[in-house]
Amino acid sequence: MDLIKQIDGVVDVGYEEEDPDEIYRPQAVKFQEYQQSTKMQLLSTNGKQVSYGRTITKEDIINQNKVVIISDDIAKEVDETIDNVIGQSLEIGAETFLIVGVYGASISETFQIQIPVTSYEYYFGSSESEKLTVTISNQFSSSVVGKQIVELLSKQGSMRSLGTYSNSSSAALVDSLSSMFQSLTLLISFIGGISLFISGVGVMNMIYTSVSERTKEIGIRRAMGATVRTVQMQFLFEGLTLTFIGGMIGYVIGLLLAKIISLVMSFDFIPDLFTAGIAIAISVFVGLIFSYFPSKSATEKDIVELVK
């Protein structure tokens, strides 16, 4: 840490702080056909409620018992009859542990195994984090400083003989997510543009149909003194009204869908009036563009032909 503090741009450095109830470590796990590096949770209190067998207890933690509970995802890979895995052996690293329970894993959980923290420390060494959190000044690039830190520790770091150093930056993650969302926005905008064009063609056809069905009405109005502009504005406003109401209905349906999704996925949903205004304005603009030509066609016919 003293070496890192000497690098320009570093404001502070310290060990990563972890919640004692949420300590996770990856280990090589082997359980019959299941063999891969698996994320496990180190427990200092009772384990999760299980569907089969029993959970990890305080006695297991105090006595450093070699017991684990596994997720049903791992259990199903080995045996469709999940309760058959209870009492079987599971290898973590070079050590063998006893499976005492199986729990139902939720979609949001990234760990697959729970193990007493005391057992982990006894057989695999300290459970303390090997990560450092470095705070970097806004005037410096986090990626550049991070690379300098890795290079320095690779040459002079006290743990360089035990493995390799690497770094991850929250700024880099934000940039990656930003790039992904920009691509997603472009894709949605492209699909939305196609939808708007198709909708506009539909509005145009409706106004053309309205013009053709009201030919005599147009002729009578023209004969009674209605100007070309008045007749054109009549059909233009008809198209604008149609798209305005359609935009309002579409936005209300969008709000309802967003509210339902927010309830299902448990996040806050806050309507944005500015976005609503833009959405409705775009709908009206589409109505204006695609209603112009049908409304203009209503004024181009001869009055005598219109009233026949």
pLDDT at 68 over 90: yes
What amino acid occupies position 202? G
Sketch the domain layout of the chain as residue ranges. 2-15+138-168, 23-124, 180-307
Higher pLDDT, 46 or 18: 46
Q: Please tell me the distance from the alpha carbon of residue 14 to that of residue 35, in angstroms, as a whole number.
A: 34
Alpha helix ranges (H) inside the chain: 2-5, 58-62, 72-78, 117-124, 142-156, 170-213, 215-223, 228-265, 273-297, 303-307
Q: Please tell me the distance from the alpha carbon of residue 237 to that of residue 301, in angstroms, as a whole number.
A: 20
Q: Please tell me the distance from the alpha carbon of residue 92 to that of residue 303, in angstroms, as a whole number.
A: 91
165-222 per-position pLDDT tens digit: 887 776 666 667 777 888 888 898 888 888 888 888 888 888 888 888 877 787 777 7
**Under 8 Å CB-to-CB from 129, ≥6 apart: which residues?**
15, 16, 17, 18
Q: What percent of the chain has pLDDT over 70?
A: 91
> Of 80, 79, 194, 141, which is closest to residue 88 (Cα–Cα)?
79
pLDDT at 129 over 60: no
Q: How far, CA to CA in Å, does 122 sit from each of 18, 64, 94, 114, 116? A: 20, 7, 13, 15, 10
> Of 91, 89, 158, 93, which is closest to residue 124 (Cα–Cα)?
93
Facing residues of 36 across strands? Answer: 29
4-41 per-position pLDDT tens digit: 888 888 888 877 666 656 787 888 888 888 888 888 88
**Under 8 Å CB-to-CB from 52, ≥6 apart: which residues?**
82, 83, 85, 86, 101, 102
pLDDT at 287 over 90: no
Secondary structure of residue 216 in the 3-state scheme: helix
What pLDDT does 305 receive?
A: 57
